[in-house]
Amino acid sequence: MTSYIDKINTYIKTLDHDTLTALQSISSDKKYKKGDLLLKQHEICGKSYLLMSGIARKYYLTDGKEITTELYFENDLAVSFDSYTLQQPSREFIEALTDVTVSITHYQAFQEAKAKYPKLLALDLMLAEYYGMWVENRLFQFHTMTATERYLEILHKSPHIVQTVPLTIIASYLGISLETLSRIRAKV
Amino acid sequence: MTSYIDKINTYIKTLDHDTLTALQSISSDKKYKKGDLLLKQHEICGKSYLLMSGIARKYYLTDGKEITTELYFENDLAVSFDSYTLQQPSREFIEALTDVTVSITHYQAFQEAKAKYPKLLALDLMLAEYYGMWVENRLFQFHTMTATERYLEILHKSPHIVQTVPLTIIASYLGISLETLSRIRAKV
DNA sequence: TTAGAAATTTGACTTAGGTCAAATAATGAA
DNA sequence: TTCATTATTTGACCTAAGTCAAATTTCTAA
């Protein structure tokens, strides 16, 4: 599936000058401090955030508890998918876990650009497909793997997560309690 | 999210004659008997299956056990998403749970049609977005809900599933054992 | 209709993971 | 440095859900 990111990047490199400048004209950089919220619950996700540097996460609250649903590193694209797609209030927050720099693209401007530049429509499809496969893979893990197996998967495939993100957040991302994660780590 | 299906259907109704005939020219109907496999593991999912009638499911095998990942009813579109998107061998099977009639569209022909008819590209994006939101919602359920809560969710939002699909399959779809499902049902 | 197979339920017991509480360890600002 | 806060670990006990085995119930094909 990493190969699909390559495919997307390769595709972006083939974009013509006009398409590329159109895209740049509707994007702008912004910095956030550690702890800042890029998106709040109940807000409509009217922007996409491409992480240039730093770490961020997406999470929601269920009876007072924060459940992390996605972790973002450099070059990851952060949005609340359903809020962005349906332009309806978000169930999720997006939070900067460190100071971050992002490239922001507005939803509405991007919709208009897609109508004018079909290559952006194709790009949007690729991004949606990638996200679909990513979520499908995560669901697969919850459906069939134990907590220990899920932790080992992260440890092997995304060691940077374990190295940079607090265990409380990793535990909620794995869908287990902090104590259980600590015990799993104490073993292998 | 049902509203998004409405949006997709509304969009389809706005398709011009040429686009529509192009789509029809690359689609054909086919019937399968109960128990037939529309897609086998390790095959590349080179077709999409729009269910016209009957019930089908998608599942994979983990150490000999069948895990159902999706149930299809009339008007549902069945594909192994990553296999179809990446055109790589499928981890999943697609099986007819009853006699079914499907409208089959070939992947390759659809790719070519999308290049010629941009409205099909936009349609494809909507379908990918819908699937992404659907999977995200299922992941949410696995991430935060107990087995009982997941069962009640199905019971309320998709009662047709409980009425038509064997409990063994529903149990694996919920990620629980058959016995646990039976006990949940014995209560409320 | 009826025997055999398949689906579902029930019982007894085990286990992964949760909860609550307390003890350490690590970090960061004054 | 040092104190206070935050992060992580450890202990004791609990609970949801799994496993294995057997009993029923429901279908289905002859």
- pLDDT for B1: 74
- Consecutive 10-residue runs of chain B (188 residues): their mean pLDDT? 90 96 97 95 98 96 92 97 98 96 98 96 98 98 97 96 96 98 94
pLDDT at A19 over 90: yes
Whether B125 contacts A121, CB under 8 Å = yes
Q: What is the pLDDT of residues A30-55, one digit of tens each?
A: 999 999 999 999 999 999 999 999 99
Number of H helices, E strands in chain A: 9, 8
pLDDT at A3 over 90: no
Q: What is the pLDDT of residues A138-149, one digit of tens each?
A: 999 999 999 999
Q: A103 to each of A15, A53, A80, B7, how far by Cα in Å? A: 18, 10, 16, 30
- Between chains, do A133 and B85 touch, taking CB under 8 Å as contact? yes
Which residues are within 8 A (CB) of A92 and not within 5 positions of it... i.e. 6 or more apart?
A: A39, A41, A58, A59, A60, A69, A80, A83
Mean of all residue pLDDT scores within chain A: 96
Q: What is the mean pLDDT of residues A60-65?
A: 89
- Between chains, do A142 and B143 touch, taking CB under 8 Å as contact? yes
Cβ of residue A138 lies below 7 Å from strand D:
no
The structure tokens 């650009």 sit at: A113
Whether B104 contacts B47, CB under 8 Å = yes
Q: Provide the positions of strand C that have an atom within 7 A of a protein CB.
A: 7-12, 16-21
pLDDT at A1 over 90: no
Q: What is the mean pLDDT of residues A57-71?
A: 94
Residue B113 is encoded by which pair of tokens? 């049609």
- pLDDT for A122: 97
Residue A46 burial (10 A CB sphere; 0-12, 13-18, 19+) = middle
Of B67, B129, B144, nearest to A128 by CB-CB distance is: B129
- pLDDT for B86: 98
> CA B124 to CA B126: how far, in whole Å?
5
Q: Which residues of chain A neighbour B137 with C-beta distances below 8 Å?
A: 82
> How far does chain B reach from its first CA to its final CA, in angstroms?
27
- pLDDT for B3: 86
pTM of the model: 0.96
Q: A126 to each of B1, B8, B30, B126, how far by Cα in Å? A: 21, 19, 29, 12
> CA B131 to CA B134: how far, in whole Å?
5
Q: Considering only residues 162-181 of chain A, list those whose CB is below 7 Å from strand D.
A: 166-168, 178-179, 181
